[in-house]
Amino acid sequence: MKALLIVDVQNDFCPGGALEVPDGDEIVPVINELSKQFNVVIQTQDWHPAGHSSFASSHEGKEPFETIEMPYGQQVLWPDHCVQGSPGADFHPDLETTRSQLIIRKGFRKEIDSYSAFYENDDETTTGLTGYLEARGINTIYAVGLATDFCVKWSVVDGVKEGFDVYVVEDAVKGIDIEGSVDQAWTEMLNAGAKKVSSKKLLK
Ligand code: VGL
Ligand code: ZN
């Protein structure tokens, strides 16, 4: 059985948001069309407490998009974004969410970021998603959303590692693109064993 995984389609990742992905909102109508074809729709929601450790503002003298060393490895620092309960953390108003059956919130621990839908950035702390999917007999995931080079990529690579067949819908993802990170993300996702597919192919 297959599931659609909609990653972080939230106001802060769309134009005008705190961490905007260029043209991030353009994928919303594509995702809405796609989701009609799925009986299982799952979403993730980036959900940080104020003062989260991934925010540059939490580190004296640091600017957004600089990288620092955290106990669990390298961490890019971000503008404050997707603060719990803020409008920026809401899903894009045009995103069809009524048929979503599970919303995984992530990044809610102050000391650790969480890009992937499966594991926090220490690669150890689970979100519980693998168990949920397995319990429901899902073996195939179609990934869409934001951002290609961060939360989509980490979710896709972890999904493959967890033993799922993972497809990435190329026209239903958009990236932040820091120094070629979108191209690199595609290389990593395909090398991991994920497959690229277009929405046209899925919709026909
Ligand atoms: C994301 C950076 C920080 C994402 C979330 O959804 O790709 N990127 N938090
Ligand atoms: Zn975040």
* Mean pLDDT of all residues in 146-167: 98
| DSSP letter, residue 13 | G
Nearest ligand atom owner, CA of 65: 1
- Of 5, 11, 19, the one to substitute when testing ligand 1's pocket (max ligand atoms within 8 A of C-beta) is 19
- Among 8, 46, 80, 149, the active-site one is 8
Interval 8-41: pLDDT, tens: 999 999 999 999 999 999 999 999 999 999 999 9
Expressed in angstroms and rounded, the spacing between residue 148 Cα and the centre of ligand 2 is 13
Check if the beta carbon of residue 8 is closer than 8 Å to that of residue 145.
yes
- Clarify whether 106 is annotated catalytic: yes
> Who lines ligand 1 at CB under 6 A?
8, 13, 46, 78, 115, 146-147, 150-151
Q: What is the pLDDT of residue 116?
A: 98
Task: Tell me: pLDDT of 125 over 90.
Answer: yes
pTM of the model: 0.98
Instruction: Name the pLDDT band for 143 (thresholds 50, 70, 90).
Output: very high
Give the residue carrying structure tokens 């395909």: 190
Check if the beta carbon of residue 45 is closer than 8 Å to that of residue 106.
yes
> What is the percentage of the chain residues whose pLDDT exceeds 90?
100
- Among 14, 113, 151, 158, the active-site one is 151
State the Cα–Cα distance between residues 38 and 196, nearest whole angstrom: 18
Q: What is the pLDDT of residue 59?
A: 98
* Mean pLDDT of all residues in 117-121: 98
Give the residue carrying structure tokens 């239903």: 172
Task: Tell me: pLDDT of 158 over 90.
Answer: yes
Task: Tell me: pLDDT of 72 over 90.
Answer: yes
Q: What is the pLDDT of residue 165?
A: 98
Q: What is the pLDDT of residue 204?
A: 79
For atom 2 of ligand 1, the residue with the nearest CA is 150
* Mean pLDDT of all residues in 47-72: 97
**Domain limits, the chain:** 2-49+84-203
How confident is the prediction for the chain on average, in pLDDT? 98
- Clarify whether 8 is annotated catalytic: yes
Q: How far is CA 187 from CA 91, 100, 182, 183, in A?
A: 28, 30, 9, 6
Nearest ligand atom owner, CA of 19: 1
Expressed in angstroms and rounded, the spacing between residue 186 Cα and the centre of ligand 2 is 20
Instruction: Name the pLDDT band for 130 (thresholds 50, 70, 90).
Output: very high
Q: Around Cβ 71, how many Cβ atoms within 10 Å?
A: 9
Q: Which residues does 164 contact at the CB level (< 8 Å), separation at least 6?
A: 133, 138, 139, 140, 141
Q: What is the pLDDT of residue 172?
A: 98
Q: What is the pLDDT of residue 27?
A: 98
Instruction: Name the pLDDT band for 151 (thresholds 50, 70, 90).
Output: very high
**Class of 2-49+84-203 in CATH:** alpha beta
126 beta partners: 119
Q: For residue 151, give the ligand 1 atom closest to its CA.
A: 7
For atom 6 of ligand 1, the residue with the nearest CA is 151
